[in-house]
A and B are shown apart, each in its own frame.
Chain A
Amino acid sequence: MMMRKVMSVPEKWSVFNKQLILELEKIGLNSIGIVLFISFFVGGVVSIQTALNLQNPLLPKYLIGLASRDSLILEFSPTMISLILAGKVGSSIASEIGSMRVSEQIDALEIMGVNSASFLILPKIIASLFFFPLLVILSMGIGMIGAWVGGLSVNVTTSDFMYGLRYEFIPFFVSYAIIKTLAFAFIVSSLSSYFGYYAKGGAVAVGKSSTEAVVYSSIVILVFNFILTKIILA
């Protein structure tokens, strides 16, 4: 029922666009730092751990680049980054909307005749759908740089690593990752908004809605990760 209210035409496009730009900044631009930081270091660790597991001299070194690439594209960047964003963006969305609910700001919107669900939630969903895939693509790139640096630290040469990165590359894996990310973006933004929008009470309720948003978003992401992987790849 909430989604029916959310998916209605905005009252005025100029006001909606202003709100959307605000959300793009809050949800997208403000998440770039953490995504870069985590992706670089996880990429490095993936590469080092893969190298440690492939110490057999019969196994070529370029496999480290290949394994790092596939781990990052298929799982780490889309799923793990979405889980991280569920924590960062999801809790922020739920607490922001929840605070507005308990301080009667949402009631003030409704009394003015504004569709509060659409005004507050739709820009967040659109901003998430737009920015999550960009962040995930960025994470793939930075993760691979991290993996290359990690590889260098365990004596994998740049040429071996680069050969592995290019070896039997399947572009569809990136499409699969983006499809998953779009689903996760919708899950995080809509579930978090839901918990915030229906928060009742005071500060404790806002905290509870924020926690619930993160927990349920994470669970649903993991379940959908399994379902989508089965449908798309299996």
Chain B
Amino acid sequence: MIEIKNIDKSFGDNKVLKNVNMTFKKGQTNLIIGESGSGKTTLIKILIGLYKNYSGKVLFDGSNVSEMNKKELKKLRQDIGMLFQGGALYDYMSVEENIMFPLSLFTEKSEREMIERVNFCLERVNLKGKNNLMPSELSGGMKKRVAIARAIVMQPKYLFCDEPNSGLDPKTAILIDDLIMEITKEYNITTIVNTHDMNSVMQIGDNISFIHKGEMWWKGNKEELIISNNEELTNFVFASKLFKRLKK
């Protein structure tokens, strides 16, 4: 479980996050939704430790990140898998090398054991046999799946996904969503997905937090979201005329 308590973050005079409190549960896909510029990415960057100057607490299974020493932080980072918006695969490494990279750095596994684990992860994301392809030879959806394989190769406790569906067609997007949800349930991990894709929200939203202008505005699940009367949330989720008609 991950908890954030009273998080404030500013860039100069611009206060991006204001007193944000959230809880992300284990074994669930926890979604952070909000308009562009609402503070979602800043929040996720605080959670994964890329932004350090903030006030408030981030607790991973009860341990405060800002009170951890270097060794504890390093250990925590090895428990984190991250799926970046563009995949962030290393261009000069093949699919196999990309997925194997964390294993070769942080484990003492033999080459054969590492390849076995890579093959298992590739099979899990339906990319069996694509070991020797380079990132430039992959489609957008395949890149995301390789990135998911790399994120789960170390068997993380926490999985973070930043806009996992951006740039994907609706069908591939749903495949990625399903994969994230299956992995979350299968390994019983805490997954946090940062998105503004409404298909994702309806597909995998176990626990949804809506951020508006840097503040925590609403939380609930996908069923509650549909019937919610929160004006800002309704305007965001049911933005199109068609959706508004459907909601009515």
- 0/1 string, B87-104, CB within 8 A of A gives 1: 011111000000001101
- Does A103 lie at the interface of the complex (its beta carbon under 8 Å from any beta carbon of B)? yes
- 0/1 string, B183-203, CB within 8 A of A gives 1: 000000000000000000000
- Pairwise interchain contact B102-A112, C-beta atoms closer than 8 A: yes
- Pairwise interchain contact B82-A111, C-beta atoms closer than 8 A: yes
- Pairwise interchain contact A108-B106, C-beta atoms closer than 8 A: no
Which single member of A14, A99, A105 contacts B104 (CB below 8 Å)?
A: A14
Residues of A within 8 A of B (CB): 11-12, 14-15, 22, 99-100, 103-105, 107-108, 110-114
Stretch at the interface among B72-80, B174-182, B205-213: B72-80
Can you give 23 A-B contacts (C-beta < 8 A)?
A11-B106, A12-B104, A12-B105, A15-B104, A99-B91, A103-B86, A104-B84, A104-B85, A105-B88, A105-B89, A107-B50, A107-B84, A108-B82, A108-B88, A110-B49, A111-B50, A111-B80, A112-B101, A112-B102, A112-B105, A113-B78, A113-B106, A114-B105
- Pairwise interchain contact A111-B102, C-beta atoms closer than 8 A: no
Q: Which residue of A lies closest to B104 (CB)?
A: A15
Query: For residue A99, which residues in chain B have a CB less than 8 angstroms away from its CB?
Result: 91
Within 8 A of A (CB), among B32-52: 48-50
Shortest Cβ distance from residue B73 to the other chain A in the assembled complex, whole angstroms: 8
Query: For residue A104, which residues in chain B have a CB less than 8 angstroms away from its CB?
Result: 84-86, 88
Q: Which residue of A lies closest to B97 (CB)?
A: A18
Q: How far is the CA of A100 from the CA of B89 in the complex (A)?
A: 9
Q: Which residue of A lies closest to B84 (CB)?
A: A104
Query: For residue B85, which residues in chain A have a CB less than 8 angstroms away from its CB?
Result: 104
Which single member of A14, A22, A103, A114 contacts B92 (CB below 8 Å)?
A: A22
- Pairwise interchain contact B86-A15, C-beta atoms closer than 8 A: no
Query: For residue B74, which residues in chain A have a CB less than 8 angstroms away from its CB?
Result: 113
Shortest Cβ distance from residue B238 to the other chain A in the assembled complex, whole angstroms: 31
Within 8 A of A (CB), among B84-133: 84-86, 88-92, 101-102, 104-106
Q: How far is the CA of A107 from the CA of B84 in the complex (A)?
A: 9
Which single member of B77, B86, B91, B104 contacts A113 (CB below 8 Å)?
A: B77
Query: For residue A22, which residues in chain B have a CB less than 8 angstroms away from its CB?
Result: 92
- Pairwise interchain contact A112-B88, C-beta atoms closer than 8 A: no
- Pairwise interchain contact A111-B90, C-beta atoms closer than 8 A: no
Q: How far is the CA of A105 from the CA of B104 in the complex (A)?
A: 17
Q: How far is the CA of A22 from the CA of B102 in the complex (A)?
A: 18
Shortest Cβ distance from residue B58 to the other chain A in the assembled complex, whole angstroms: 14
Which single member of B78, B84, B92 contacts A108 (CB below 8 Å)?
A: B84
Which single member of B73, B78, B86 contacts A112 (CB below 8 Å)?
A: B78
Shortest Cβ distance from residue A100 to the other chain B in the assembled complex, whole angstroms: 8
